[in-house]
Amino acid sequence: MKKYLIISVVAAGVLAGCGADENPGRSYMPDMTYSRAYETYASTNDLEKEGVFYNRKPVPGTVARGEDMAFTFNLPHDSAGYAQSAQLRNPLDSAGAAKIDMKEAERLYLVNCGICHGAKLDGNGPLFNGGEGPFTAAPKDFMAADMKALPEGTMYYSVTYGKGQMGSYASQLSPKQRWEIIAFIKSKQGVGGAAPAAAADSTAKTAEAGAAADATAKK
């Protein structure tokens, strides 16, 4: 009989400990027992009532772990940021940067951009298809004069934040991949292709002139 009484007392204690009371007594590590952490889709109403602002987004200027600092992008998503983007330069073109793999850049373009802008960059991708596709408005023609003149930094800004009917690709493409695609587009546009050739011709002419001058001096 005594045995059953002990079992009953223990059982009652266990049941009492499993009650709805969220503060049953002392905790060895209360900051972990009663964490302020929130689940991904949990309501943040309680935080707002306490004057705590939390939108589940990283602090502005945060650099993802493993991300190259050369690709840091902090321009705001507003008219001022859009205007400032024209001053950005492709970090892949900077001295010491890894050589751009145009084959990979082309693949990234075809996978992410070709469906709208077309494999030929003419704005006639499958979604438009000369007006017969689901899109009634033609996407931008990258081979048009205005797009050739568009600064690469502004293109990066548009891919990052979205522009017009095009949404943001920041979640689909890493900063490096975005710059690779832009480098591919600019290479197809021929932008910047003539300048190195002109510079090479100028250098060659200067060398020839110098050689001629030396020959004249020796005579």
CATH number, domain containing residue 161: 1.10.760.10
At residue 41, the pLDDT reads 66
Is 200 inside a domain boundary? Answer: no
SS3 9: helix
Is 214 inside a domain boundary? Answer: no
Is 168 inside a domain boundary? Answer: yes
pLDDT digits (tens, 9 = 90+) for 180-214: 999 999 999 987 533 333 333 443 444 454 445 44
Total domain count, the chain:
1
Is 211 inside a domain boundary? Answer: no
The alpha-helical segments, DSSP class H, found in the chain are 2-17, 30-33, 45-49, 79-84, 102-112, 114-117, 145-149, 152-161, 175-189, 194-218
Which residues span the domain enclosing 161?
99-193
Alpha carbons 130 and 124: distance in angstroms, whole number: 6
Is 22 inside a domain boundary? Answer: no
Is 89 inside a domain boundary? Answer: no
pTM equals 0.62
